[in-house]
Amino acid sequence: MKIHYAQCWEDPETLMQALDVGPEDDVISIASGGDNSFALLLANPKSLTAIDRNPAQIFLVELKIRAIQKLDYDDFVRFVGARPCQDRLQLYLRFRSSLSDQARAYWDAQTENLRQGVIHCGKFENYFSIFRRLVLPLVHSRETVQQFLSSPSPENQREYYDEVWNNRRWRCFFRLFFGKFLLGHLGRDPSYFRYVTIDDIADELLRRTRHGLREVPIKDNFFVEHVLTGRYGNLETAHPYLRKSNFELLQERVGQIRLVCASLEEYVRSLPPSSMSKFNLSDIFEYVSDETSETMLQDILRVCREDARLAYWTLLVDRDVPSSLANQINPCTAASEKLFENNRTFFYGSFGLWQVAKGRSGDRRYKKVTTNSQIRM
């Protein structure tokens, strides 16, 4: 039972603009590292349920919630790993007793992950750490990295990329490290590529990275900064939950998050019809077949209100509205493309925003969720 993602790697600004969450919304959000669920919570929805089938991800989000509730801001950012800290285990002991029994047992056995800061403890974060420590120094010096991150203008950024950054070593080592084998075994999981049809994954990711590092403003792109340096320089431009300006509000609201450890399909089948209005689906369609994706959407549609919104990303597997559901879902193509243009996590293949059509009605049969498939906060 391992943490795959200690942080969310989808741009929260893109997500918040797409879903436009408000006080009347009931939100379902894929938990992952919890960061984007916290971002959506700042919009003050009526309810927010963070769901993940991996118990370790739920324990991670619970840990972050309790740390937000029990620590002051400075200790919180030190504890999670956004700022240097020598006494993270002592900080953990200050709120350990507030964790659920399952989460406490898990984190008691994760002293090394606690000591290094939990935002660094995921498999995906470790993959970037290996790249940063062992590969990047073979290509660029720290000074070169910092100069690139400090590009004062879009024109300067493009010029620096073309003339300094994009050398032969960069392209060679990028293709080696971000190819299917290493990405599958070190960063994600080989099973994640089951439905991928792209012949040369490394070349495709290099093409996307070229676009992102040339065309998407790098100066405040905390995703790129973290990949290249392992830290966040200015927390006020980092993940929204790490910003001091949001911390007091988060302390007031994080206790409202409902944590559910279950598959999305299992959970939505337990809900009454027309009970949810906004969905952060991360990239869950990436890992299932067309048939399973269609079934999942049917289950989701049953619990959707009219005009409900669904947001999702694709990395290597395209997913469109199934033809059987075309009369129930309206793809917001123009809005999706506009949002994706400035999406700071440019390594994704696309961003999708769908809106449920008016006048549709769902099956009114449902099954209540069992208590052992959820953890309530």
In a shared domain, residues 19 and 72? yes
In a domain, 371, yes or no: no
The Cα diameter of the chain in Å comes to: 61
Helices (H) and strands (E) counted in the chain, each on its own, are: 18, 7
Q: Tell me the three state secondary structure of residue 28.
A: strand
Q: Quick one: 105 and 248 in the same domain?
A: yes
Question: 143 and 275 share a domain?
Answer: no
312 inside domain:
yes
Same domain? 116 vs 246: yes
Residue 7 lies in a domain: no
Residue 326, number of CB atoms within 10 A of its CB = 12
How many angstroms separate the CA atoms of 377 and 374, rounded? 10
Do 26 and 155 share a domain, yes or no? no
What's the confidence (pLDDT) of residue 288?
A: 87
Is-contact 122 4, C-beta < 8 A? yes
129 in any annotated domain: no
> How many CB atoms within 10 Å of residue 94?
14
Q: Do 255 and 337 share a domain, yes or no?
A: yes
Phi-psi region of 259 (alpha: psi -120 to 50; beta: other; left: phi over 0): beta
Least Cα distance to 375 among 13, 50, 20, 144 occurs for: 50
Which of 233, 255, 282 finishes a domain? 233
Structural domain range at position 342: 12-121+240-356
Residues 280, 15 contacting (CB under 8 angstroms):
yes
User: Strand, helix or coil at 54?
Assistant: coil
Q: Does residue 155 sit in the same domain as residue 216?
A: yes
Beta bridge partners of 314: 350
CA triple 283-285-291, angle to 5 deg: 180
* Torsion sign (Cα): 319, 320, 322, 327: positive
Residue ending a domain, choose from 233, 267, 293 = 233
Region at 223 (left for phi over 0; alpha for psi -120 to 50; beta for the rest): alpha
User: Is residue 27 located within the same domain as residue 116?
Assistant: yes
- Does residue 343 share a domain with residue 245? yes
89 found inside a domain: yes
Q: Which CATH number is 64's domain given? A: 3.40.50.150
pLDDT tens, the chain, 377 aa long: 899 999 999 999 999 999 999 999 999 999 999 999 999 999 999 999 999 999 999 999 999 999 999 999 999 999 999 999 999 999 999 999 999 999 999 999 999 999 999 999 999 999 999 999 999 999 999 999 999 999 999 999 999 999 999 999 999 999 999 887 678 656 566 676 676 667 788 999 999 999 999 999 998 899 999 999 999 999 999 999 999 999 999 999 999 999 999 999 999 999 999 999 999 999 999 888 889 999 999 999 999 999 999 999 998 888 888 899 999 999 999 999 999 988 999 899 999 999 999 765 444 333 343 333 343 33
Token look-up 């929260």 returns: 12
The answer as to whether 34 is a domain residue is: yes
Q: Which residues contact 101 (CB under 8 A, 6 or more apart)?
A: none
Q: Work out how many domains the chain is built from and give that number.
A: 2
Please state the pTM of the whole predicted model.
Answer: 0.91
How many angstroms separate the first and last alpha carbons of the chain? 21
Please indicate, yes or no, whether residues 257 and 335 belong to a single structural domain of this protein.
yes
Q: State the DSSP code for 375.
A: B
109 and 245 together in one domain: yes
